[in-house]
Structure 1
Amino acid sequence: MNKIVVIFFVGILIFSCGSKKRVVHKRQDNRTNTEQKDNMNTPTNVPKVTTKTYANATEKYIDTFKEIAQEEMRLYNIPASITLAQGILESGSGNGRLSVEANNHFGIKCHNWTGDKIYHDDDEKGECFRKYHDAKYSYRDHSLFLTMRSRYSKLFTLKKGDYKGWAKELRAAGYATDKKYPQKLISLIERYNLHEYDKEVLGHETYHKEVEHNHVNGDENQMANNEEHVVSKGDTLYSISRKYNLTVEELQNMNGLRNTNIGIGQVLKVK
């Protein structure tokens, strides 16, 4: 009888151990299968997403639009440094209303524009400005604006590495009425090293040759500029004659004018 009892308990023990082993084995398989599925669903060699930080809005603006400005330089021969500096100044580093709501970074007005429009107070209340679907089209219009208007033709006689000359001639041609406009552009270019983008387009050797040429001919160019006056907003023949110690009649005779009508961007001889 005792043997039967012992055999009975031994059998229960063996059966219990076998069951546990099967259960444990099954759990291990389940865990292994789950891990395999996870590994199959996890992509390999995923690049880490990094968010670039900027010291200020201007640095972010430059990084965003520098390549567009360089492409415009290759196509239209306008220094990228000048385009970027104008964009920064006129769009408030991309934070102005026209740039935010209309992607218009250069304050280009409607004129004969047939596309979308936005109305904004500028020289007058509620003026019409062009609205773009993408800011790059604003950059293209800026290039076309300068290349297709005769009053800016003198800009394209300047070297592409001469950002100082471009800044001064833009104001002289009537692009801006602010007397400090050239200094503002030059300050932005030098503070943020925007001329480096010109150098990348031109190549280091060409760029340095142009810079040396500008230094040599700087005094001659200044003398030539003193012999002409580019009409800007608010100018009259009388105010110009006073500025250069001339009479209105002398000014008319020097420029073949029959009346006192003059236009912004018009070049007048004053010597």
Structure 2
Amino acid sequence: MVRKILVLITAITLIGCNTSKPVIVTSKKAQAKTAAINSAKKTKSRNLTSTRSTTSTSAKKNPRVNNSEVIVSTSRTIVTNDIIKLYVYQYKNIAMANMKQYGIPASIILAQGILESGAGKGDLAKNSNNHFGIKCHAGWTGESVNHDDDSAQECFRKYSNPSESFKDHAVFLTGRSRYAKLFEYSKGDYKAWAHGLRAAGYATDPKYPDKLISYIERYNLHQYDSKVIDVNYVLNEDQLVEELQLESKNLGNSLASYTVQKGDTLYSISKKFELKVEDLKQKNNLSDNTLSIGQKLIVN
């Protein structure tokens, strides 16, 4: 009898111990499902990492990505790399000719043109062919326009075409004593010229020299100084290919442009060329709906 009681107490004790522990039921199906979920998470993580890596590598390997930037001088202008390159291609020969005649580095001329005119897309450049932000100053007898700059509605020079602006820029620098020190610098020393312009008072922006130097180095503008200084200088193969591509693109743009006539509106022009108004504004970097008679618009 005592033995039976001991057996019964032992059994009760064992049952109590077992019920205090959690019961885990594991089947092969549950294990497979858990493994599949973990595998999927790992694969997704690897794919995400791979995608980020590929995107980063792709951006590094593709220097032709046409990024845009904001140029702030006499107006705020948004331009792309291609627009700046086309501007350089269009005016490089004028810049080199002025370098030969007046002694101003072609790289400085082009960099100032890019910055002051928004690569030809700024208000002064489009409306008055003023590519260098030159104000009227005493003695100016030509046409003029009023434009907000350091002060409201300041007087700026107006030209019949961009070539006149480039020539007047050269005459402006060579004809004023405060810029005389610039011509003591080497024609190949664009950094000295950039800092010299700021020191002589051409611009009030303390970052003006850095901006000019940045354009010169990013777009290899000093190559045009070399072409003038060294008569035997020849563009390398990559530069020649790029210039041919720019020439082709420039011709394409010139064939697909429209000159604004009296009575034209963005809406009427967009209908004429089967474009959306917003697309037309984007192609021409227009911030509003204002048009000027004689203004050229890209419509391709």
Please report the TM-score for the alignment, with normalisation by the length of structure 2.
Answer: 0.49
Cα deviation, residue 172, structure 1: 1.1
Cα distance in 2 between the residues matched to 1:194 and 1:101:
26
| Match for residue 175 of structure 1 among 196, 199, 202 | 202
- In the alignment, what sits opposite 2:121? 95
Cα distance in 2 between the residues matched to 1:55 and 1:169:
27
| Match for residue 87 of structure 2 among 58, 61, 64 | 61
Cα distance in 2 between the residues matched to 1:178 and 1:119:
21
Q: Which runs of 4+ in 1 moved over 4 A?
A: none
Q: Secondary structure at the match of 2:179?
A: helix
1:73 lines up with 2:99 in the alignment: yes
Percent identity, aligned pairs only, is 59
- In the alignment, what sits opposite 1:192? 219
1:146 lines up with 2:201 in the alignment: no
| Cα deviation code 1:141-189 (max 9, x no counterpart) | 1111111111111100000000011011111111112111111111100
Cα deviation, residue 102, structure 1: 0.4
Cα distance in 2 between the residues matched to 1:122 and 1:93:
18
- In the alignment, what sits opposite 2:147? 120
| Cα deviation code 1:96-128 (max 9, x no counterpart) | 100001000011111222222111111111111
Where structure 2 has 5 or more consecutive residues not aligned to the other structure, the ranges are 1-79, 234-300
Aligned length: 154
Rg: which structure is higher? 1
Where structure 1 has 5 or more consecutive residues not aligned to the other structure, the ranges are 1-53, 207-271
CA RMSD of aligned residues (A): 1.8
1:165 lines up with 2:192 in the alignment: yes
Please report the TM-score for the alignment, with normalisation by the length of structure 1.
Answer: 0.54
Cα distance in 2 between the residues matched to 1:172 and 1:113:
24
Q: Secondary structure at the match of 2:156?
A: strand
Cα distance in 1 between the residues matched to 2:187 and 2:232:
13
The correspondence of residues 6-85 of structure 1 with structure 2, limited to 5 A, is: 56-85=82-111
Cα distance in 2 between the residues matched to 1:159 and 1:55:
29
Q: Secondary structure at the match of 2:134?
A: coil
Cα deviation, residue 55, structure 1: 5.1
| Match for residue 161 of structure 2 among 124, 134, 138 | 134
Matched AA of 1:92: G
